[in-house]
Copies of this chain bind each other. A is one copy, B any other.
Amino acid sequence: MPELIASSHCKTCSYKNLLFGNLSPEELNLVNRNKKEIMFKKGEIISREGKDITSFLYLKEGLVKLYTQSQDNRDQIISIAKPRDFISLLSMFSLSTYKYSISALEDSVVCSVNMDALREVISKNGDFAIEIMKKMSKMYDDIIETRFEINRKHLRGRIAYILIFFSTHIYQSDEFELPISRREIAELIQMTTENVIRILSEFRKDKIITIDGKRIKMLNPDRLENVCKLG
């Protein structure tokens, strides 16, 4: 069960400057009265594709995936979001229902601001609107750029890319626990589950990584970087 958790007033929140840094005290109060923090356990669904949009969401702690449900019970993962990311995208302003589903890959804390309240602040404060556009457009641009980058690569390059992604952007370490299954990796970088497993095994045999279940250790990051670039 998602669980409402106690939260401080926005004005003392350490995430304030993420977006709300230049609001007037009244505007910040409005946001504060209309926000809540919710804790999701690993595996729980944060929002579901097609449901009415009622909140603006950003991730305070944890890790989540944005994805769409495909026809044949196979998802398409759009992106992995980390703390400080805005996980409800801009379409919230143009659509009445969420375009993507979001679920927690690790225990996560989400700050949820009521959409009408947010709209009211934007309507009064154009500079705030520009801040939102900046942040969201960066998310969109990153998603688009990443998609092209991944699709240009061969399968070995894609696997290398995703390992480097987790190592560099999520865990800042050469050794980490994969937060998603081989199948989800496949859904993220558009290949079959078998080939994800196969290529990870190849990397292991080539002594580029070690594998222990979901635990990955990068033995040769330079070589991985090379595979990522060249194939």
Contacts and interface: CB of A to CB of B under 8 A. Distances in A.
Interface in A181-205: 190
Contact of A134 (B94, B132, B143): B94
A78 to B, nearest CB: 7
B130 A93 contact: yes
Contacts of A134: 93-94
A124 interface: yes
B130 A119 contact: yes
Contacts of A4: none
A147 interface: yes
Given A99-B141, A144-B147, A130 B133 contact: no
Contacts of A119: 130
A73 to B, nearest CB: 15
3 A-B pairs with least C-beta separation: A129-B129, A90-B137, A94-B134
Nearest to A119: B130
Contacts of A138: 91, 94
Interface size class, chain A: 35 or more
Nearest to A128: B126
Interface of A: 68, 76, 78, 89-95, 99, 119, 122-130, 132-138, 140-141, 143-144, 147-148, 151-152, 190
A129 B91 CA distance: 14
Contact of A141 (B91, B123, B127): B91
Contacts of A143: 144
11 contacts: A89-B137, A90-B90, A90-B141, A91-B137, A92-B137, A122-B126, A124-B126, A126-B126, A129-B130, A136-B137, A151-B151
Contacts of A90: 90, 133, 136-137, 140-141
Contacts of A95: 141
Nearest to A131: B93
